[in-house]
Structure formats: C-alpha cells, structure tokens
Structure 1
Amino acid sequence: MPAEFLKIYPKNPDQRRIDHVVNALRGGAVIIYPTDTIYGMGCDIHNARAVERVARIKGVKPQKNDFSFICYDLSHIADYARVSNQAFKLMKKVLPGPYTFLLEASGSVPKVLNTSKKTVGIRVPDHDIPRQIVRELGNPIITTSIRDEDEIIEYSTDPELIFEKFQHQVDIVIDGGYGGNVPSTIIDATDDDFSIVRLGLGEVLF
C-alpha cells in the first residue's frame, strides 16, 4: 500500500493533520517531512522497529546510524545530551534555526537507538510542521536527510517527486511546499572549543 501524501501548510499547520501524523508515529510510522533546510525522514525515537526501517531505507546499520533528533525547543535536551553552559548559550542564541549541534550523548540515547555512539545531533528547526509534530508527540523524532541520486541536485526539493520515490518505503509524505537544497550547519559542541563539521545554511556565529 503506497504512502499517504498529506498536504500541511507551514504557517498555522492544521491541528487535525498534525494529530493524524502523531498517531501514525505512535503506531510505528516512518514519515517524510519539511524542515527549515531540506526534507527529512524520521520516526519516533522510542520505536526501535521504526528506527530500523529508517536505517534500512538509508542503507545503514541501525547501530552505525548518524541520525539526529528534532526537538521542539531546548527544554528536554538534557534528557538526551550533556550540554555545557557555553553550548547552551549558543544554542539559545541561534535556535530555532538551520543548525545541528553535536553533543555528548546521555545514557538514554544508546537505549533508544541501540547504538553505542558517544554523540547525538540535536535540531530545533525554524519550521512549524516538525516542531508541532514533536510537541504533540511529547518526545523528539529522528531526522535524516532525503538525498537525491542526481549528481547536480544533492537534495530533493519537490514533495511530489519525493513521494514518487519513497511512496512504497514510508507511511506518510508531508507536502509542506518546496524544500531547500542546502542542509543545516553542523556544529561540534561536545566541548567548548566549537568547530564546524559541515557548513550549511546557518551562519557561523562563534
């Protein structure tokens, strides 16, 4: 059965549609959704089978994934990562925004993702659709980028084309309009000597 193609407008997202997505995530769904940078794929971080599905679609082993978390705000980050005062100040300054922060993982992360990774990526995108989803869900969702096989266009931007490609692999593709094709800037904040891992949409502010 093909995925559901669900239109949600980014400004003031329809609550019934957000609730529909949240209920699907609680049931183990894998979804594709817009962010403030590129389209992402993800699931509820607490559903091990869904995490394994995302890993299979990406062609990686679940234990060796590089998935990040989308959070609604900074209030629950301490549940998943250890954050220094300096890192927290920087995150508070730039989030929500097009940044992924690599932080030292707390003890709960390996249990969630069945991985022994020592770091976790945290995203708080400046986009109402994924933020409303995780707020209603009550915990983060995984995020991993939707890459295009085209050598020129690295990231897919058209939700209809994304649906064509993934309709038999995921459960819901959210059409939130055209996405961007520049990913987030990744900042290593595992210590206070911050460094850029990948320069993307977000400006360097340190």
Structure 2
Amino acid sequence: MTLAHRRQKQPELVRKELLDVTLQILVDEGPHAVTLDAVSKRAGVTKGGLQHHFRSKQALLDALCDQLFVGFHQRYELALLAEPDGPGRHARAYVRLSFDSGNDHEQVRTQRAIALLALTWPPCRERWSAVVTAAIAADGVDEDLANRLLLCRLAADGFWYSQMLDSYPIGNKRKAALLDALLDLC
C-alpha cells in the first residue's frame, strides 16, 4: 500500500501548477498543443488528477482565461487609480497598461496567452469584447472625444501586439515618446 493517502493534500497548489503548465504549453507550443494528456504529463499528475480539478479541456481553458482576466483587472485598477479624474482617465490607464509590460518577460507571456486565447477560444474572445465595450463606455458620450480616445486605445493595442510579437525594435526612449504622444491625445 502506498503512502499517497497520508500525504497532505494541497489542491490550490496543484490547481495553480496545472494552470501554470497550461499557460506554458499555450505560449510555447500553441493552442493545438494544450491537451489534457500534455498538461497532466508536464505537471506530473495523472489525467484523473487533472480532471479532478478541471473536468475537460474547456474547463481548463476557462479557468486559465479567468486567471488571466483577474490579473488584467488588477493591473488596470492600479493604473486607473494613478490617473486623475476627468475625461480620458480610463483611456489613459489603458494606454499606460499597454505600454507598461513591454520589458517584463512574464507579462509578455501573459499577453501572448491572452491574445492566443482571444484568437482561438470563443468564450475568451467574448469576455475580452465585454471588457473593451465596458472600457469604451467609461470614456463618455462626447462623440469627438470618444473617437479620439478609441483611436488612442487602438494605437495602444497595436503597440501591445507589436511588443508581444517582437515586431518592431523600439528602444526605451522612443517608447516613452510614443507613450507621451498617446497620453497627450487622451
């Protein structure tokens, strides 16, 4: 008889490890590589152990999406607190958030995971759309201002994607100038 039944159970730790492994596979190998077998093998748990926490691949990806969105919302709320009240506050926080993570390797991995899930997992895409729709609503009803702020958001998204994909080599000085230009427009 094994001593496994006597071992202290740490379900939250196991769950976190499973989500970390899923994120790693998603970013390193692509969405097609995320399977229950691949996650269980890489995490060192049985497939049954994995399914104890996540009944299906959909449940696993939904939980990863939840984790990623919680992190995004926490960072967005912090960025929002740093902005003065008034028109453009939400857009400025979003722009800053898009520019803040370019040098943080773990944050870039998180960005890549969000993008991959949004592109390939319809429930994640729907959630991201709801987040963006709510953010745009916070910009107000003045049409000219709302259009300018949306343009700033779209530019920030483009910067975010370019950093995530390593598309453009942008040094820190130029990055700061681009950020200032967008913030001025906000």
The TM-score bracket by the shorter chain reads: under 0.3
More helix by share: 2
**Larger Cα Rg: Structure 1 or Structure 2?**
2
Could you tell me the TM-score, scaled by structure 1's length? 0.24
Could you tell me the TM-score, scaled by structure 2's length? 0.26
Name the structure, 1 or 2, with higher relative contact order (CA <8 Å, separation 6+). 1
